[in-house]
Structure 1
Amino acid sequence: MDLIIADPNGINKHLQLDFFNVIAEPDSSAYNFAVLHEVSEKVYQYSKLCIYRLLAILVGLPLILCWGIIFGAYTFFMIWIVAPSRRLSQSIIAECGIHIQTVSDAVIAPLYRSFGQVFSSVRISLFNQTVEATKTIQV
């Protein structure tokens, strides 16, 4: 592993936290003494590095163990349980589709074709007719 390129896939490009990305003097109206600026940069860099390394040892190692266990279990389940189950489901669905298609072609399609033939000569005519009937109710 190359320690200079510790993020070869660029996962953490958003973490630009070097001194000049965090503490930047905008122009000549706001600038520090050169010696103080260099000392500030060194204090920032070394304190950030020391805290990062300390936290990486104290917190990072247990976390990386947890992440290794989680991703290992996830990989195991995906390879040994989920992928074969998905493949089995796809195979069963494809096989059921063949049977359903066969039954549909043999039974349902002729039935609906015959219904279509029976009702193909039915004609419906719609027209408006007013009915003038009066009903009287006697009590």
Structure 2
Amino acid sequence: MDDKVDLINRDPNNINQHVQSNFEDVLAEPDGTRSADCVWIYSAKCFNGGKSCCYIFLSALCGIFLGLFWGCGFAMISFEQIWCATPMYRCFSIYAIYVQKCVGTYLSCYLGPLCETCGLCLSRIRVDKSG
């Protein structure tokens, strides 16, 4: 297991591509509606600075604990799948083959001939529609 963390590309699998939170992704002025250039420039600086400070603060405050929480959560899911669900499913599959053979034998030996006989008896019935 490689413990190296990529500090440049922090979303190599693009799992958070939907979280676009740059100034240009959130605020935009259409043609014909413009604020003063200085307002737009300082709004962008305040937006980016506030977002960065708040994100850094929340990450420092909660990031390590949430990383531990999610790591343990996914470890429990992996444990349950590897040690419980997959073996139980395999066991079920083995027994299901036995049940399938038993039910198939019952159907072909008992129910099949019964249905065939009923079909032969009822095949001679004619329905005439007379006006």
TM-score, normalization: structure 2? Answer: 0.70
In structure 1, what is the equivalent of residue 55 of structure 2? 52
**Are residues 1:31 and 2:41 paired?**
no
Q: Assess if the C-alpha contact under 8 Å between 1:25 and 1:31 holds in 2.
A: no
Distance 2:38 2:99 in 1: 80
How big is each residue's C-alpha offset from its partner over 1:36-73, in whole Å with a ceiling of 9 and x where there is no partner?
82x65444434322321221121122122111111110
> In the comparison of the two structures, how many residue pairs are matched?
125
**Are residues 1:11 and 2:19 paired?**
no
Structure 2 unmatched runs, 5+: none
Which residue of the other structure, out of 72, 75, 80, is the alignment partner of 2:78?
75
The structure whose Rg is larger is: 1
* Root-mean-square deviation over aligned CA pairs: 3.2
TM-score, normalization: structure 1? Answer: 0.66
Distance 1:106 1:24, change over 3 A: closer
Offset at residue 98 of structure 1 (A):
0.9
SS of 1:33's equivalent in the other structure is helix
Which residue of the other structure, out of 81, 94, 97, is the alignment partner of 1:94?
97
In structure 2, what is the equivalent of residue 134 of structure 1? none
Determine what percentage of the aligned residue pairs are the same residue.
Answer: 31
